Structure 1
Amino acid sequence: MKFNMGRALIGLLFIIVLAGCGRGGTNQLVEGKVNVVTSFYPIYEFASAIGGEDANVINLLPTGVEPHEWTPRSNDIITASKAQLFFYNGAGLEGWVPSFLKGLSQDSKVKTVEVSKGIPLIEAGEGADGHDHSAGASNANEPEAHEMDPHTWVSPKSAMQIAKNIKDSYVLVDPAHKAGYKSRYDKLAEQLNKLDAKFTSVLAKTNKKEIVVSHQAFGYLCRDYGLTQHAIMGLSPDAEPRAQDIIELSKVVKQDNIKYIFFEELVSDKLARTLAGETGVQTLVLNPVEGLTKQEEQNKDNYFTLMEKNLQNLILALQ
């Protein structure tokens, strides 16, 4: 029997395509499961954990991309139109959502859920003591009127409400699998409760309570665990601070005997390192868990491993 190389290659490609569909590969909808589209990483992780084998979860934001300035493509709108659930953070994080929702097909039955609903929101500039500690907050690029801090998930305590909203949404669209969703939610809630208890216990014992961060992403973490953030930039990591803001922050670093300036891995660390250099202190990572870097993805990091690393770095900085 003569071997036909062309047919063999076509057959192999067909098998690969089928395998991709079976896995629910990137942006692939899966028949017989609740198809869920999420706006960025933390929601994707929680939705995947709670959905389990009953759900196919597609994350819009690519690995290594910072979510504040990202916008979806037309293919993303098509995918969301055919899904059963669309989870987004809300509170002003995803500025593209209103036009995205208007772009959904007219026959779409997707249920859209703002997962931060129910979390008491922080107004822009509020630290743990209710005062503005963001150097970039007064920048002209930052809206002044009633801008809310969208970084709800960075606190394990607030993340519990996000998880509950996701669970309730699954049960609403797929009541037949309610028991599975509740069981997996209970497991995730237990993890979040343990993490919350650890943050509460450990941070209550630190000598210092002031942190200097690259952008104002840690308001909920600070509010829930008794800390105060001083941010180089405002709520958006691309808001450039003024020279006088940096001078004021330099004074804070020296007056409060701060030893570390925190930076993030998905945005430039230039300003954080500049401030650290000028004040003679060191830098450390404090991760807002807005997404995974390619290295973190390879390391199989997740919300819990990154938050544990955050806690260890906070302990070091607040001694």
Structure 2
Amino acid sequence: MYSGPLRAVVTALLAVGVAAAATGCSSSDSSAAADGKLGVVAAFYPLQYVTQQVGGDHVSVTNLVEPGTEPHDVELSPKQVAQVTDADAVVYLREFQPAVDDAVDSGAKNKSLDVAGVAPLSDGYVPLEEGELHEDEKGKDPHVWLDPTRLAGIADAVAKKLGDLDPDHAAEYTANAKALNTKLGTLDAEYKSGLASCKQKTIVVSHNAFGYLAARYGLTQVPITGLTPEEEPSAARLAEVAKYAKENGVTVIFFETLVSPKIAQALASEVGAKAEVLDPIEGIAKESNDDYFSVMRTNLTTLRGALSCQ
């Protein structure tokens, strides 16, 4: 036990520490705001966008991933873990970001919405040739937002979650989700029409992110790497994809915005193709005025050119 002057010093330090901790919790961006808004944490950009559109003026949304940052393996700071714990609700996609899963399990499980439960996820990888899958190639594909009809289902689930927390504005959340889903329906129709008559139906992509988009619009996705974009492909996989691209007349190899394009560019050079951006919309670049819809429409224009669509 401490005594005399030493006890006084320790007591003072503990008091400061408790006050600081309390201040840190109360000032969290994701906790219920003084103006009565719901404080919601969204795990990454598409979920942030949907929650903001559905919540409108009654919700304050915090994104755990900084603009321009790849979200797959995000690490959370102590402040962000506190934001998850303090939030009125957390919208996330389980098994996409392990650190977020851990934070939810530690202090937010009963107030979380796992959008992976809204619609069943598909297997993440189909090999071009027979053989065992690498670890990076196993698992379920999380990129459901690239199918607008699946994102519409997520919007409805977010509206229900917010309405349960804030019954006074439940009708408004439902109406906002309906309005968003109308826009998503229009986008879906644009994709169906725009990709209906194309000379090429195969997209070779740097990262296995476009399976839902391909399935929805009758395309075949051939990824260079699996579900984790930073994973280096094996020499055998590169040779396999190069052979496939040459044999099937692929003229464009796609890379994405938040990961190095070097491998896709090298493969494009090898097979005599161009390298172009196809954005999986896992995040929005810093200082960008784009949003989900503008990037999806840019992707459609890119696909139509690459696939020689009528």
TM-score of the aligned structures, taking structure 1 as reference length? 0.83
Instruction: Give, in whole Å, the separation in 1 of the partners of 2:109 and 2:231.
Output: 37
Q: Report the counterpart of residue 120 of structure 1 in structure 2.
A: 120
Residue 25 of structure 1: how far off its partner (Å): 9.6
Residue 137 of structure 1: how far off its partner (Å): 8.3
The amino acid of 2:112's aligned partner reads: T
The amino acid of 1:62's aligned partner reads: E
1:185 aligns to what SS in structure 2? Answer: helix
Instruction: Give, in whole Å, the separation in 2 of the partners of 1:63 and 1:134.
Output: 37
Deviations 1:237-265 (A, max 9, x none): 12211112111111111111111000001
Instruction: Determine if the alignment matches structure 1 residue 169 to structure 2 residue 161.
Output: yes
Matches within 5 A, 1:90-109: 90=94, 92-104=95-107
Q: Report the counterpart of residue 147 of structure 2 in structure 1.
A: 155
Instruction: Determine if the alignment matches structure 1 residue 70 to structure 2 residue 74.
Output: yes
Is the Cα–Cα contact under 8 Å of residues 31 and 88 in structure 2 kept in the other structure? no
Residue 96 of structure 1: how far off its partner (Å): 2.0
How many residue pairs were aligned?
A: 281
Structure 1 range deviating more: 64-73 or 259-268: 64-73
Is the Cα–Cα contact under 8 Å of residues 137 and 226 in structure 2 kept in the other structure? no
Q: Report the counterpart of residue 20 of structure 1 in structure 2.
A: none
Deviations 1:86-138 (A, max 9, x none): 00022x2122233212432xxx6961001232323211214xxxxx3499983
Q: Report the counterpart of residue 251 of structure 1 in structure 2.
A: 243
TM-score of the aligned structures, taking structure 2 as reference length? 0.85
Matches within 5 A, 1:289-300: 289-294=281-286, 298-300=287-289
1:204 aligns to what SS in structure 2? Answer: coil
Q: Report the counterpart of residue 15 of structure 1 in structure 2.
A: none
Residue 299 of structure 1: how far off its partner (Å): 3.5
Say if 1:192 and 1:123 are closer, same or farther in 2 by CA, change over 3 A.
Answer: same
Say if 1:136 and 1:261 are closer, same or farther in 2 by CA, change over 3 A.
Answer: farther
Aligned counterpart for 2:33 among listed residues 21, 25, 30: 30
1:121 aligns to what SS in structure 2? Answer: coil
Say if 1:205 and 1:181 are closer, same or farther in 2 by CA, change over 3 A.
Answer: same
Instruction: Give, in whole Å, the separation in 1 of the partners of 2:115 and 2:81.
Output: 19
Deviations 1:172-230 (A, max 9, x none): 11111012112211111111010011111211221211000000000111111111111
Say if 1:89 and 1:133 are closer, same or farther in 2 by CA, change over 3 A.
Answer: farther
Instruction: Give, in whole Å, the separation in 1 of the partners of 2:52 and 2:154.
Output: 13
Is the Cα–Cα contact under 8 Å of residues 135 and 231 in structure 1 kept in the other structure? no
Is the Cα–Cα contact under 8 Å of residues 136 and 233 in structure 1 kept in the other structure? no
2:203 aligns to what SS in structure 1? Answer: strand
Aligned counterpart for 2:133 among listed residues 135, 138, 150: 138
Instruction: Determine if the alignment matches structure 1 residue 304 to structure 2 residue 293.
Output: yes
Aligned counterpart for 2:52 among listed residues 35, 48, 61: 48
Aligned counterpart for 1:181 among listed residues 144, 149, 173: 173
Q: Which runs of 5+ in 1 are unaligned?
A: 1-23, 127-131
Q: Which runs of 5+ in 2 are unaligned?
A: 1-26
2:275 aligns to what SS in structure 1? Answer: strand
Q: Percent identity?
A: 35
